[in-house]
Amino acid sequence: MARQPIDQFVERIASEKRASVYLGTKTTHEKREKLLHDHYADPDALRRLAGGIKQHVVENLDTYLPRVEAKLKANGAQVHWAATAEEACATVHGIMTARGATKIVKAKTMVSEEIGLAEYLGSRGIESLETDLGEFIVQIDHDHPSHIVRPIIHKSRREIAKSFEREGLGDYNDDPGTITRRARAFLRKKFLQADVGITGANFVSAESGRLVIVTNEGNSRFSLAATKCHIALIGIEKVVPRDRDLGLFLNLLARSATAQQLTVYTEFISGPKSPAQPDGPEEMHVIFVDNQRTEVLASECREILRCIRCGACMNVCPVYRQASGHAYRSVYPGPVGAVLSPLLAGERFAEKADLPKASSLCGACNEVCPVDIPIPDLLLRLRDKGKREHAPLASAGTPSLGGWAVMASKPVLWKTALSAGKLMNLLPANWIPMAAAKAWTDTRTLPTWRGGEFRSWMKHRPAKGEGKGKS
Amino acid sequence: MSSSRDLILGRVRDALAALPKRAPLPEWDPAGARSTVAPSGADLWQAFSARLRAVNGTPLASVAELVALLESKGWRHGYCDPTLWPALKAAFPAGFTVETEFDRSRVDDYQFGITVADGAIAETGTLVLSDRGTASRLAALAPWVHVAAIRHAQIVPDLGSALTLLGDDPNVIWVTGPSKTADVEGILIEGVHGPGMQVALLLD
């Protein structure tokens, strides 16, 4: 039986790395829990409400998307649609070419990673620089983020200090403050030289066409203060119905993601800068990206489209805590990734068919989810899909149950096995030659096996009304 | 371009057509998202100041306090919104260089930037900056110290109230404390791309 790829990965993780991921996720999770319960009498009611609102949006995207588009256009933004990752990249490239632009500063956007934007533009001579500190470090190391909110949760300050030294960003110094100051100085120059700022969006209000972007570092704000053109890459599921719904989502997002009451910078952007404003984009483009989302919408896993990318599910997940993000071989790791990544793979679902099995189905991810996504249910549906489609990875690491299946589908064999089970009564309780089993059976007795008696009793049981005695 | 639009919207319609019924939009009262730290008393400046301090921000109740802070740190070169400067000028002693035009080729020359805020949220210690109200986006972001000037009447009690005041400004930004990161080993560092010190200056 082939082992699961994720198990093989885990064996190769350095213990130091595992400890840092474990501690980082556990700390964030505990702070989140405390903050939510300190600040709200019933945070679960808020999660369910937010889930209800997002489920409504997902199931009514046909109404909301044209509404958002009309609002954005009325606000002065240009709206583009990209069916595939390739088309989304080409749209960005087209905007760049039309402006004669060659330099991009990029705030954190999961969609840009999903569509491979940096590689696409890089091969066409366009520099696209990550400006979130963690993402910047990932970029100079040619590494991949391992957490959607804390991209370098797997890196130590010593590794980062070495990378900075290698890149000519000063002598070796592993003080986090110094690392941050150096990145600030370096990236500041890049912001001011860049032609275009690329961002994602956490939410888009259908009521006003406002994009909402949250960052703690201020990188999105800096790129929208320094550059003359703003391009926002947005998954089609990011809509919320009304501005006032943002009150709910912003409160839940900051607490769930980083255990903050509110993220430091919350931007509400509805169009290019006002005429009197000297800084910021004169041109704003919004690219709505499908890239398999409509397939997910058509599937029985559409609840995953509620996701607001907070990372709370990975922070609480016992598998993520041991395996860390790279084990999932995808842009989206953790429980949400185990659902989303195989779905976004589309035709290549089979390559990620093992991910839905990277879970004990303990349900903690569902309990912390700010939009109450039933992740364990979705994982089961995807396990089923993997089996039905005969994806080899869907069976990796699964004990063969062939013998059981034969026995359970032949009544004669089944009955024989049940009666034969009585032979176990003749064995000592601790006969199983396994240390783990012995630790249990050495101090316990087993109940007497009475296999087959229930069937016999059922067959010969008194008819209704008989044997009740006097009444 | 429009063909992709039609393709995507067509797929969305097809995907949803199969649903026997669609989830309704739940109604909810924005008061339900008010946290227990939202103020109930009348003094919103006091409540706002407490929340701002909780996120390592610096509330100052007078221009004199601001000048004292800047002097104590030796920060004497900065920017001030030209509409605000005439009112503040008298409080700044000789030795300060304050420009009323922000030169983006010298962003690191400015140790502080003073701009006008449109409001503040007491529940979260948040300053509200609008595009029309902020003289320069860069001046409110690039210097190590950002000073946002507000008036009593502009402070709202909670986040829900602030959402009703977004108006038609193209770029409203809520700022809750100094710029920060915990990317390196989860250790909190302030002043990443934006200010390392966020000041709220009460004008009245």
Residue A400 within any structural domain of the chain: no
Q: Are residues A51 and A137 in the same domain?
A: yes
Q: What is the DSSP letter of B2?
A: H
Sign of the torsion formed by the C-alpha atoms of B62, B67, B73 and B75: positive
Please name the member of A40, A52, A298 whose beta carbon is closest to the beta carbon of B23. Answer: A52
- What is the Cα–Cα distance from A179 to A182, expressed in whole angstroms? 5
Q: Are residues A57 and A141 in the same domain?
A: yes
Listed by start position, the domains of chain B span 58-202
Closest Cα in chain B to A247: B160
Residue A19 within any structural domain of the chain: no
Q: Where are the alpha helices (DSSP H) in chain B?
A: 2-17, 44-54, 63-73, 85-88, 159-163
Residue A29 within any structural domain of the chain: no
Residues 6+ apart with CB under 8 A from B100: B79, B80, B81, B82, B85
User: What pLDDT was estimated at residue A471?
Assistant: 43
Residue pair A125/A97 in contact by the 8 Å Cβ criterion: no
Token pair of A327 as six digits: 């084990």
Residue B1 pLDDT greater than 50, yes or no: no
Residue A399 within any structural domain of the chain: no
Angstroms from A6 CA to nearest CA on chain B: 24
Q: Which chain B positions have a beta carbon within 8 Å of A31's beta carbon?
A: none
Average pLDDT estimate for B122-131: 98
Residues 6+ apart with CB under 8 A from A349: A342, A343, A385, A386, A389, A391
**What is the CATH topology of the domain spanning B58-202?**
Rossmann fold (3.40.50)
User: What pLDDT was estimated at residue A466?
Assistant: 60
Three-point CA angle A168, A182, A263, nearest 5°? 140
Residues 6+ apart with CB under 8 A from A181: B191
Residue pair A339/A382 in contact by the 8 Å Cβ criterion: yes
Residue A18 within any structural domain of the chain: no
Q: Give helix A219-226 / helix A176-193 axis angle, nearest 10°.
A: 20
| Domain end position, chosen among A394, A415, A431 | A394
Angstroms from B135 CA to nearest CA on chain A: 7
**Weakest mean pLDDT among A456-460, B28-32, B75-79:** A456-460
- What is the Cα–Cα distance from A371 to B181, expressed in whole angstroms? 25
Question: Which CATH number does the domain housing residue A262 bear?
Answer: 3.40.50.10420
Sign of the torsion formed by the C-alpha atoms of A138, A142, A146 and A152: negative
Residue pair A69/A93 in contact by the 8 Å Cβ criterion: no
Token pair of A84 as six digits: 């595939």
Token pair of A199 as six digits: 């961002």
Q: Are residues A330 and A265 in the same domain?
A: no
Contact A247 B22 (CB under 8 A): no
Q: Are residues A222 and A258 in the same domain?
A: yes
Question: Got the DSSP string for A110-177?
Answer: HHHHHTTHHHHHHTTT-EEEE-SHHHHHHHHTT---SSSS-TTTT--HHHHHHHHHHTTSSS----HH
Residue B65 pLDDT greater than 90, yes or no: yes
ipTM of the complex: 0.97
Q: Give per-residue pLDDT as tens, A46-87.
A: 999 999 999 999 999 999 999 999 999 999 999 999 999 999
Q: Which chain A positions have a beta carbon within 8 Å of B81's beta carbon?
A: none
Say which residue, B181 or A406, is predicted with more confidence: B181
Angstroms from B63 CA to nearest CA on chain A: 25
- What is the Cα–Cα distance from A356 to A373, expressed in whole angstroms? 15
- What is the Cα–Cα distance from B181 to A225, expressed in whole angstroms? 20
User: What does pLDDT average to in each consecutive run of 10 residues of chain A (471 residues)?
Assistant: 83 90 96 97 97 98 98 97 98 97 95 96 95 97 95 94 97 97 98 98 97 98 97 98 97 97 97 97 98 97 98 97 95 97 96 95 97 98 96 82 82 84 79 75 78 79 64 43
Contact B170 A76 (CB under 8 A): yes
Closest Cα in chain B to A288: B5
User: What pLDDT was estimated at residue B2?
Assistant: 60
What average pLDDT is seen over chain B?
96
Secondary-structure percent of chain B, ordered helix, strand, coil, rounded to 5: 30, 20, 45
Q: What is the DSSP letter of A210?
A: -
- What is the Cα–Cα distance from B141 to A238, expressed in whole angstroms? 27
Angstrom CA distances, B150 to A186, A341, A374, A411, B63, stand at 33, 46, 44, 81, 12
Q: Are residues A240 and A97 in the same domain?
A: yes
Q: Which chain A positions have a beta carbon within 8 Å of B144's beta carbon?
A: none
Contact A217 B169 (CB under 8 A): no
Residue type, B70: L
Residue pair A356/A362 in contact by the 8 Å Cβ criterion: no
Find the domain containing A168 and state its range: 42-291
Q: Are residues A326 and A275 in the same domain?
A: no
Return the residue matching tokens 């990029």: A106
Please name the member of B36, B163, B194 whose beta carbon is closest to the beta carbon of A244. Answer: B163
- What is the Cα–Cα distance from B12 to B10, expressed in whole angstroms? 5
Q: Are residues A211 and A126 in the same domain?
A: yes
Q: Are residues A325 and A184 in the same domain?
A: no
Contact B171 A224 (CB under 8 A): yes
Return the residue matching tokens 């109200």: B133
Closest Cα in chain B to A185: B193
Closest Cα in chain B to A25: B186
Contact B175 A264 (CB under 8 A): yes
Contact B1 A81 (CB under 8 A): yes
Number of domains, chain A: 3
Q: Are residues A237 and A105 in the same domain?
A: yes
User: What pLDDT was estimated at residue A444?
Assistant: 79
| Domain end position, chosen among A275, A291, A307 | A291
Q: Are residues A217 and A69 in the same domain?
A: yes
Token pair of A136 as six digits: 């910047």
Angstroms from B68 CA to nearest CA on chain A: 26
- What is the Cα–Cα distance from A112 to A220, expressed in whole angstroms? 14
Q: Which chain B positions have a beta carbon within 8 Å of A261's beta carbon?
A: 35, 37, 51, 55, 124, 176
Please name the member of B16, B179, B183 whose beta carbon is closest to the beta carbon of A152. Answer: B183
Residue pair A221/A191 in contact by the 8 Å Cβ criterion: no
Residue pair A385/A349 in contact by the 8 Å Cβ criterion: yes
Token pair of A322 as six digits: 């041991």
Question: Which CATH number does the domain housing residue A351 bear?
Answer: 1.10.1060.10
User: What pLDDT was estimated at residue A431?
Assistant: 76
Q: Which chain B positions have a beta carbon within 8 Å of A263's beta carbon?
A: 176
Which phi and psi angles does A424 have, rounded to 5°?
A: -65, -25
| Domain end position, chosen among A265, A291, A317 | A291
> Hey, which residues does B115 pair with through a beta bridge?
B148
Closest Cα in chain B to A82: B4
Q: Which chain B positions have a beta carbon within 8 Å of A225's beta carbon?
A: 137-138, 141-142
Return the residue matching tokens 């956490």: A202
Q: Compute the residue count for chain B.
A: 204
Q: Are residues A352 and A445 in the same domain?
A: no
Residue type, A381: R
For residue B149, the SS3 value is strand
Residues 6+ apart with CB under 8 A from A286: A72, A77, A78, A79, A80, A211, A231, A232, A234
Q: Which chain A positions have a beta carbon within 8 Å of B175's beta carbon?
A: 264-265
For chain B, give the percent of residues with pLDDT over 70. 99
Q: Are residues A336 and A415 in the same domain?
A: no
Q: What is the DSSP letter of B26?
A: P
Contact A218 B176 (CB under 8 A): no
